[in-house]
Amino acid sequence: MQELRQMLRRVPNFPKPGISFKDITPILNNGEAFTSVIDALCGLAALHSPTKIVGIESRGFILGSAVAYAMHLPFVPARKKGKLPAETVQARYALEYGEDVLEMHKDALVPGDRVVVIDDLLATGGTAEAVCHLVESLGAELSGLLFLIELTELQGVKRLASYPVHVLIRE
Ligand code: AMP
């Protein structure tokens, strides 16, 4: 994990002044590192015996689909508004300025599904919380959330306190 932490690229003032962007592409660009991240996420996901993996647009797709493939599980995308073609459920969440909407196909989950949600980074937790609401609105069980990185100062885990949260790299 120390090696992974060193591979993370921190880009100051991106996408706007004051933000230190945590760029995971150097990790993805190293076969051994990418594999060890996916293996570690699979080990954590397996603790919850999920029936489906949900990935959050867009870097959650990269990690989540690899985990789903490795575990022989279905993959479900949670997408930004207007991207999914069939009937959806929606959840609003707060951004720094204004709000945004995430969607999931209505038929993507059913009662009885146990879901593990994956994203690259946990900041305030607003995005992940919105996805938890989507999962539960479809009658599925939110079994756990996995993140490659947590920005600990922002205390997003507090917002997700009612769910098991696992993180590989704490910043
Ligand atoms: P939040 O809803 O505040 O937890 O924000 C999490 C979402 O925003 C994730 O999908 C991240 O990919 C993205 N994000 C937020 N802050 C950063 C950051 N400093 N570097 C990279 N991605 C970020």
pLDDT at 145: 99
> How far does residue 147's CA lie from ligand 1's centre (Å)?
11
Exposed (0-12), middle (13-18) or buried (19+): which is 85, by Cβ within 10 Å?
A: exposed
User: Catalytic site residue 32?
Assistant: no
Q: With 90 as the cut, is the pLDDT of residue 50 above it?
A: yes
> How far does residue 111's CA lie from ligand 1's centre (Å)?
29
pLDDT at 1: 83
Q: Which listed residue (59, 79, 103, 129) is catalytic?
A: 59
Whole-number Å distance between alpha carbons of 162 and 25:
31
Contact assessment for residue 66 and residue 33, using Cβ atoms and an 8 Å cutoff = no
Q: For the segment 73-111, what is each residue's pLDDT rounded down to a tens digit?
A: 999 999 999 999 999 999 999 887 789 999 999 999 999
User: Catalytic site residue 9?
Assistant: no
Q: Per-residue pLDDT averaged across 26-41, rounded?
A: 98
Q: Which listed residue (9, 10, 92, 96) is catalytic?
A: 96
* Cα-trace Rg, the chain: 15
* Structural tokens at position 130: 């919105």
Using 50, 70 and 90 to split pLDDT, how confident is the model at 14?
very high
Contact assessment for residue 148 and residue 166, using Cβ atoms and an 8 Å cutoff = no
pLDDT at 98: 83
Whether the predicted model's global pTM rises above the 0.85 cut: yes
Q: What domains, with CATH codes, occur in the chain?
A: 2-170 (3.40.50.2020)
DSSP line for 138-171: TT-EEEEEEEEEE-GGG-HHHHTTTS-EEEEEE-
Whole-number Å distance between alpha carbons of 102 and 168:
25
